[in-house]
Structure 1
């Protein structure tokens, strides 16, 4: 038989358990946005519409969180020829306005390239990437690669390549 003292202990234990459970739920609420997603950066990587050999062109990213511009701690743009990550070149991004960062880079040969932006803001990081092409032959090759990928015949060299916009 359970006496009054034991009922009190059971009640107090249940009350403490419930308080801890509710406290844990409340603490986690701040870790999600209005859609229930964990905090994340939205990074819109832009490749110039026209790229010419031996001329620098501006690459940019717009960084937001919850539709507000973000002042990033570090923005890096990384460039390499498709299939040759050992030829990677890193250029620091400069803030042009709150949430908008750019880097100038030029190319010395036609081909298919990858640009990846590495964005760090506090404990958050994003690394979107896009492929693009310089030169007619490279544009055709990139279009063929994208068609093969769409048909599931070829995996990207790196899983974090973006939408594969192509430019010349």
Structure 2
């Protein structure tokens, strides 16, 4: 069995205003399966909310998958709205490695493009953990210094 490691989240603000006159707020949660097996289909989903209401019936909803460092090899999969404001795809990764997934959801005056990195295969998971821990220590070593 292989594990998937997921990173980062996404919140986007846009120019429209809500009922109180404040800018409308989009909240996005891109979800990657906790376990990914090479060659087996897994479900990826994104939740999109605008002012705490599901962003329903998007004009366009898709997920783009590619191996890290090789955007030219990207595969685009059309998503379906599995529940209000939740768009999902089933996709399989055929080789061990570190990948990126980006969901692209467009609605009336709204577009969100959250992206996450994940790993498939034990060696790739270890490599991703090392990459992220070295990035965190690098980020922490610069805190408070100019």
Which residue in 2 is equivalent to 1:59? 44
The 5-angstrom pairing of residues 111-130 of structure 1 reads 111-130=97-116
Shift of 1:41: 2.3
Shift of 1:35: 8.4
Deviation at 1:40, TM superposition (A): 3.7
Checking the alignment, whether the CA contact within 8 Å between 1:32 and 1:38 is kept in structure 2 is yes
Counterpart selection for 2:77 from 91, 97, 104 = 91
**Alpha-carbon distance between aligned partners in 2 of 1:55 and 1:41, rounded to the nearest angstrom:** 32
- The structure whose Rg is larger is 1
Structure with the larger strand share: 2
- Cα deviation code 1:5-53 (max 9, x no counterpart): xxxxxxxxxxxxxxxxxxxxxxxxx943478752242111100111001
* TM-score for both structures, normalised by structure 1: 0.68
Instruction: Please report how far the alpha carbon of residue 148 of structure 1 lies from its aligned counterpart in structure 2 after TM superposition.
Output: 2.3
Q: 1:105 aligns with which of 79, 83, 91?
A: 91
Q: Tell me which of 68, 72, 97 is aligned to 1:82.
A: 68
Q: Is the 8 A contact 1:40 1:124 kept in 2?
A: no
Deviations 1:62-108 (A, max 9, x none): 11111111112111100001111111111011011111110010011
**Which residue pairs with 2:11 in the alignment?**
none
Which runs of no fewer than 5 residues in structure 1 stay unpaired?
A: 1-29, 154-168
In structure 2, the partner of 1:143 is 129
Q: How many residues align?
A: 124
Structure 2 portions without partners, runs of 5+: 1-14, 140-146
Does the 8 Å contact 1:119/1:127 carry over to 2? yes
RMSD (CA atoms): 2.0
Higher share of residues assigned helix:
1
Q: What CA distance in whole angstroms lies between the structure 2 residues aligned with 1:40 and 1:92?
A: 25
Alignment of 1:39 with 2:24, yes or no, is yes
